[in-house]
Amino acid sequence: MFEKEENELENRNKELDEMTLPATIDNYIEAGLALGKKRKRSAKSKMMMTLAASFMIITMVFTIRVSPAFAAYVSKIPGLDVIVNLINYDKGLQLAVEHDFIQPIGISDEHDGIKVTVDSVIVDESRMILFYTLENNSEYEMIDIEVIDFVNEQGEPWKVTKTYNSYGEKWLKKKKRHSKIDIEFIKETKIPDIVTFKLKLLNKEDEREHSGTVLESAWSIDIPINKAAFVNMKEEYLLNQTVTIEGQKIHFNKVTIYPTRVSLEIKYDEANNKKIFGFDDLRLVDENGEEFASITNGIIGMPIDDYTEIIYLQSNYFNRPKHLYLKASRLKALDTDKLEVIVDLQEEKLLKQPDERLHIDEINKTSEQVEIVFTYKKEFPYDVKRAYSLFNHQFKDSSGKIYEHLGEGSSAGEEYGRSYVTIENIGYTNPITFTIYHYPTRIYGDINIRVK
């Protein structure tokens, strides 16, 4: 029903690889998520998958980074301390909790010795974050999420896009675990007075594989939403400013500040001769020098059309600064005539690449799949801890026929990165062509726009 919106989010959120990843990230990656389908992949692709093709489930471990004020506030409220582990990456959500912008729910549903409780929600006109707890006192040693759905008061699917987290530890027997769901409101979203949270669970047979037996029971919780608590809680600022960086024009249209995040609408000039992949250091800075940077765990943006997009930043809504500036100095960009990468599958070599930094390391073939391993040299110092998923999910052969790859993963070394692309082993008309979605080349300049 929401294929267009989810495809747009899928492409935009491939920029998740911009995050600084923990050294043990490979141990926390869920396999089998590309394109939302359960497809076979090679062992290496499973190990290195960084959610290039899907952002519906994230598995990540973060160092706790909370302000002393937030930690002190949370410590005074029973049960609220678990939020420290769930929103420590987002200063805006911390501010929301500090200012009591959280709606307690505390409603449970229990079946087969498994209890699911919706603890609370943070919600505004742009987004909802749902915090829940699952207690496993069942006969099952290990369970996991199979399906999460939401329906409105009429029993119809709620028109949202959802992202949910799994922090590397499954729900083990006799264990309680807290988690959250990030719910993105799209253009058609209407916020009901009551939304029903539906959950199906999986009895896992293997810790690393998303496989097992789906439990017959379904958990269902009606969540009341107090819409009066956030009515008209947003600030809009028209910018209408254009910045030129190394000949590339970027039009900054407007900023909307919500309690949960900041929405920045920008447009890349159609006459630009480079494809701009995104900003390295885009941030809001107030008169005291406090910075609110890009979202790093959750939905980071939304395309509007081929040239216009929304970028989400952490919110300083509750700080109420007197002055606010939008700043950046680096953008990832590549010449538009260098976006194609052509691979000769028979000779196992590149026929075209953007520059000498990109190479084919190896091609692994089975009767069902072909895995192409690309190696690229990073740009020091910005890419030292970053891994990039390089390509769009679609590619074509020399006859012009379009296909979708089965999945793309990536890994990061100090000097070089790797991108693993898996495609079906079928009769392509050789060679095949990939289109670059992300590449670690940059342009530099000074963006300093006064918001208010």
Mean pLDDT by 10 residues, the chain (452 residues): 44 39 29 32 34 30 47 58 80 92 95 95 96 92 90 94 65 82 90 96 76 91 97 96 97 97 97 94 96 83 90 95 96 96 96 96 94 92 84 95 93 90 95 95 96 96
Distance (Å, whole) CA 125 – CA 52: 28
pLDDT at position 259, please? 97
Instruction: For the sheet with 402-404, list strands across it.
Output: 349-352, 340-344, 432-436, 391-397, 402-404
Three-class SS state of 242: strand
Distance (Å, whole) CA 260 – CA 91: 10
pLDDT at position 67, please? 59
pLDDT at position 76, please? 54
Cβ count within 10 A of residue 426:
10
Instruction: For the sheet with 127-136, list strands across it.
Output: 57-58, 160-165, 175-185, 127-136, 114-123, 103-111
Token couple for 338: 């260098």
Closest CA to 330 of 246, 450, 241: 246
pLDDT at position 31, please? 28
Domain ranges of the chain: 3-137+150-193, 235-332+444-450, 337-442
How far is C-alpha 330 from the chain's CA centre?
21
Phi and psi at residue 198, in whole multiples of 5°?
Answer: -115, 140
pLDDT at position 77, please? 56
Token couple for 440: 């670690």
Report domain 235-332+444-450's class. mainly beta
Q: Per-residue b/e over 274-294, b at no fewer than 16 CB within 10 Å?
A: bbbbbbbebbbbbeeeeebeb
Sign for the pseudo-dihedral over CA of 367, 368, 373, 374? positive
pLDDT at position 43, please? 34
CATH topology of domain 337-442: Immunoglobulin-like (2.60.40)
Residues 6+ apart with CB under 8 A from 64: 84, 85, 88
Closest CA to 410 of 63, 33, 58, 25: 25
Sign for the pseudo-dihedral over CA of 183, 186, 188, 193? positive
Task: Write down the pTM of the prediction.
Answer: 0.79
Host H or E run for residue 4: helix 3-12
In terms of DSSP bridges, do strands 324-335 and 274-279 run parallel, antiparallel, or are they unpaired?
Answer: antiparallel
Shared fold status for 235-332+444-450 and 337-442: yes
Distance (Å, whole) CA 186 – CA 300: 14
Q: Token pair 């999420």 is at which residue?
A: 145
β-pair partners for 403? 395
pLDDT at position 337, please? 97
